[in-house]
Amino acid sequence: MPHLSTGDLLRQGIEEKRPICLQAKEYMDSGSLVPDGLMIEIFQERLSMPDCQIGFILDGFPRTLQQAENLDRLLEKLMLPLDCAFYLAVPDNVIIERLSGRLSCSDPKCGAIYQSQTTPPKVSGICDICGSPVQQRPDDKVEVVAERLKAYKRSTEPLIEFYKTRGTLREINGNRNPNEIYADIVKNLPVK
């Protein structure tokens, strides 16, 4: 199943100088959410590609109530009901620590992620997998992370209630190591 990360879609589009994604850059750099109209356009375009017809995993979308309502309508049209929404709960101080130490491979085709404290690359500054330099995302600077958290609380947190009401929310304790979180997600996936 394709993994659709709207953040990755935007960063890739900026790299390729796509005008619609370039419009999003200033919002991303300041830690704000990209306006719903732009996001929905970018997202719908990706969703209409053939690989998505069997289903998909959404990562970072929806992030506002308007996006969630739009997604509902779209999935109804596609006759692809949403199976579940995972909420990975992590305390703010842990989020700040994790993101401000995150290092991403500069080659978007590789996309490997490291953490300077817990999982640094074997050779400092170099990706273990493809040998490209690793770098800090501009929006992982601590002051931008604080803005992103504010945007999350204002616009995204209400989605917890939205999906709880629909009975699709699965809350996962995200303050553990990745293997434990992964196992818990797998355990909570609806069986088809």
Going by C-alpha positions, the residue among 32, 50, 68, 33 that lies closest to residue 159 is 68
Amino acid at 23: Q
Between 63 and 172, CB nearer to ligand AMP: 63
Please provide the DSSP assignment of 23-90 as one string: HHHHHHHHTPPPPHHHHHHHHHHHHTSGGGGG--EEES---SHHHHHHHHHHHHHHT-----EEEEE-
Between 70 and 172, CB nearer to ligand AMP: 70
Between 49 and 123, CB nearer to ligand AMP: 49
Task: Name the closest residue to ligand AMP (Cβ).
Answer: 7
Between 10 and 134, CB nearer to ligand AMP: 10
Rounded to the nearest whole angstrom, what is the least distance from the CB of residue 178 to ligand AMP in the complex? 17
Rounded to the nearest whole angstrom, what is the least distance from the CB of residue 117 to ligand AMP in the complex? 19
Rounded to the nearest whole angstrom, what is the least distance from the CB of residue 19 to ligand AMP in the complex? 17
Rounded to the nearest whole angstrom, what is the least distance from the CB of residue 34 to ligand AMP in the complex? 4
Rounded to the nearest whole angstrom, what is the least distance from the CB of residue 111 to ligand AMP in the complex? 11
Going by C-alpha positions, the residue among 86, 71, 16 that lies closest to residue 40 is 71
- Using CB under 6 A, list all residues that contact ligand AMP: 6-7, 10, 27-28, 33-34, 39, 60-61, 63, 67, 139, 148
Between 148 and 174, CB nearer to ligand AMP: 148
Cα-based distances in Å from 114 to 57, 104, 120, 121, 183:
22, 6, 5, 6, 20
Integer Cα distance of 115 and 119 in angstroms: 5
